Amino acid sequence: MSNYGFTTTILHSDRRFGAEHGAIHKPLHTSSQYAFDDSRELAAVFQGKAGFSYARQGTPTTAALEQKITQMERGIGTVSFATGMAALAAVFMTLLRKGDHLISSKYIFGNTNSLFGTLTALGVDITLVDPTDMEAVKTAWRPETRMVFTESIANPGTQVADLKGMGEWCLEKGLVYVLDNTLATPYLRPGIDFHASLVMNSLSKYIGGHANALGGAITNTGLYDWSAYEAIAEPYRKGDPRTWALTQIKKKGLRDMGGTLSSDAAHRISAGAETLALRMEKACANALALAKYLESHPKVASVSYPGLASHPQHAMAKAYFQGRFGALMGIELDPSVDVFAFLNSLKVLILATHLGDTRTLVLPVAHTIYYEMGPETRALMGIADNLLRVSIGIEDEADLIGDFAQALDAN
């Protein structure tokens, strides 16, 4: 672990861990297999020694990226995946068994919610609760409860879960605590500070940051002792019990399920990761300025952003994320504004799904990501037809405010 700051550590990571020929970036290794001069060494790598054999379990290039994510999260190891969803599927499928109970958030990312349907069909029981309310979390506990899973900031509602309360409670109960840190990122706060056992990051979002590569990662914080966790298979109960789950996630989730990150994507994500801190500072500052401007605009019904004093978890978010509040917001336009006409008037904002790009992206959620669930469920969830999800980028602040101003004026 480096004693340097966040950005210095990431910038110098490849050199520090040894890039070939003094290269500044870990080279892009495209080989799908790795040969050995010594047959005993080959056997040792198959038996668990660190090394490379077949690229489905990683390459030197993906390992260099994993090293960076481990340092960002201040953990003890990381396994990378082709996407964030592959990473999440690997955690749930390899650590939960039929009859196990999982407590999660009712504000969870839509695709994760859909993955929960698959898990339920396989016999895992799932209870979705309000993650901002520790009493609701505790009430969901059963003797079969094995794991608590939540997101640092919810998308698109921007609810901030009681991350520390959950961590402390999981510690007390001996539960595995898995945190999806995609929206806050380890720059705003690493999961280990909330006592998370495992931290998932979608590398497709802020960490890669340029919408040019997909990836996901699971980081082991080293805080959980897996020796009493029944779902760890015998071959992985070797060495330091703090590492057992990540070994199982790598063997079963990566080797057996095959959702492997390519070296090419890892290389692009690594370059993006160098500027995570700079981009987050700028995007968070832009988001706060825009949220304040829009909150008092007569054509805006409401703005959900943890940086606003009106946000129900504002004080907690301020303490958790050290004065930055992320770069995602929900904006509900006044019912008199035609949402489609408004969107078509925008000149700088891009009409696209995705989040965490350098560019600001906007989506009418009821008509897109929440369309499938129908109007009744949307009404129950408080999703208005005029609700926009905006992922703020790093453009110049005046251009973002100016674009909203002109599009609201025109409609």
Among the listed ranges 175-183, 234-242, 272-280, 298-306, the one in contact with ligand PLP (CB under 6 A) is 175-183
Contact 379, 314 (CB under 8 A): no
Per CB under 6 A, 201 contacts ligand PLP: no
Among 13, 16, 150, CA closest to 70: 13
Per CB under 6 A, 202 contacts ligand PLP: yes
Per CB under 6 A, 158 contacts ligand PLP: no
CA distance 374 to 379: 9
Among the listed ranges 81-89, 265-273, 283-291, 389-397, the one in contact with ligand PLP (CB under 6 A) is 81-89
Q: What is the dihedral of CA 48, 208, 182, 124, to 10 degrees?
A: -50
Among 199, 198, 168, CA closest to 181: 199
Window 178-197: residues binding ligand PLP (CB under 6 A): 180, 182-183
Three state DSSP letters for 3-41: CCCHHHHHHCHHHHCCCHHHCCCCCCCCCCECCCCCHHH
Per CB under 6 A, 205 contacts ligand PLP: yes
Dihedral sign, Cα of residue 304, residue 310, residue 316, residue 318: positive
Tokens for 102, please give them. 């999982």
The SS3 call for residue 243 is: helix
Query: What is the pattern of x (binds ligand PLP, CB under 6 A) and - over residues 85-124?
Result: x-----------------------x--x------------
Per CB under 6 A, 204 contacts ligand PLP: yes
| Cβ count near 36 (within 10 Å) | 14
Window 241-280: residues binding ligand PLP (CB under 6 A): none
Contact 248, 236 (CB under 8 A): yes
Window 206-225: residues binding ligand PLP (CB under 6 A): 214, 216
Per CB under 6 A, 156 contacts ligand PLP: no
Size of the site for ligand PLP (CB under 6 A): 15
Contact 262, 215 (CB under 8 A): no
Per CB under 6 A, 83 contacts ligand PLP: yes
The residue within the footprint of ligand PLP, chosen from 75, 84, 364, 393 (CB under 6 A), is 84
Among the listed ranges 48-56, 77-85, 220-228, 331-339, the one in contact with ligand PLP (CB under 6 A) is 77-85
Residues that bind ligand PLP (CB under 6 A): 83-85, 109, 112, 151, 155, 180, 182-183, 202, 204-205, 214, 216
